[in-house]
Amino acid sequence: GGGVIGCEFATVYGELGIRTTVVEMFDRLLPTLDRDTSQAVTESLKERGVDVRTGTKIITMKATKKTVSADLEGGETLKAARALIAVGRVANVEDLGLEDAGVELQGRIIRVDDACRTSADGVYAVGDCAAALQYAHLASRMGAIAADNATGHAVRDPLAVVPQVVYTHPEIAMVGLTEAEARATGRDIRVARFPLASTGMARAFGDTAGEVKLIAEKAHGEILGAVVIGQHAADVIEELTIAIRNELTVEELAHTIHPHPTFVEAVHEAAELWLGFPIHTTAG
């Protein structure tokens, strides 16, 4: 699998010098994330000697005491010492008596409202069993919401703005809509990309790979999505998460003073670039 977990482990194995092959059935790695993230991670893995196979299905797998073999669609067979199965996880909600308790499911996920309440009175659900995105930070927020409501403190959160992080090299983070999703809404959007190579902090750290990508509606500058590729992406994405959650505009980001030198100032630079008056780059 070439999703988040598969790519993270492939990065680790590749950097340890272990011959590694990633097999992904979709046409690209990280198929649910913005396409730019797929390209960055694919290039990085290949530079580390990882064999990336996309658009490829495994038909059967066999294991002996010493090897694992995988038969691919098309007739090729791959052999390795170990196989990591990273094709996704499903919630463990079977045989819990949920139906008897009146707890409704949506597929394999427990249905909850914006207070993390299930369809059964007094029963709450949080985390991977109640959310499509399987992230610890989302589960933690849901736990706080459920605890507040269960103890009589009314709290609601639609949980519509959730940052996603992939701990590869380069690090990947995104929030909101992908570029493809934003265009699919039919709104007129503009995209700006600011390269980390144009920032002093990235140069000081000796690793300038990556960029900040802003996706926003042209008419009012509402930020619809953002992607950060590079060092400390998981930290930089938080400012953009706050911006999207509070419906800030690109102009408001551009007019906010950012400290220098930092990685987060690339957000400010990307906002200026989106508005059409970049100072430190001419890239788009």
**Residue 56 identity:** T
Asked whether the beta carbons of 30 and 37 are under 8 A apart, the reply is: yes
Asked whether the beta carbons of 87 and 56 are under 8 A apart, the reply is: no
Q: How many helices (H) and strands (E) does the chain have?
A: 9, 12
Active site residue 260: yes
Strands across the sheet with 58-63, in order? 58-63, 68-72, 77-80
Cross-strand bridge partners of residue 175:
226
Residue with tokens 């985390």: 127
Asked whether the beta carbons of 213 and 193 are under 8 A apart, the reply is: yes
Asked whether the beta carbons of 142 and 126 are under 8 A apart, the reply is: yes
CA trace torsion 15, 17, 19, 22 (10° rounding): 0
Preceding omega of 170 cis (within 30 degrees of 0): yes
Query: Which is nearest to 216 in space by CA: 255, 238, 185?
Result: 185
Of 169, 260, 268, 280, the active-site residue reads: 260
Q: Classify burial at 282, counting beta carbons within 10 Å of its beta carbon; exposed 0-12, middle 13-18, buried 19 or more.
A: exposed
Positions marked active-site: 260
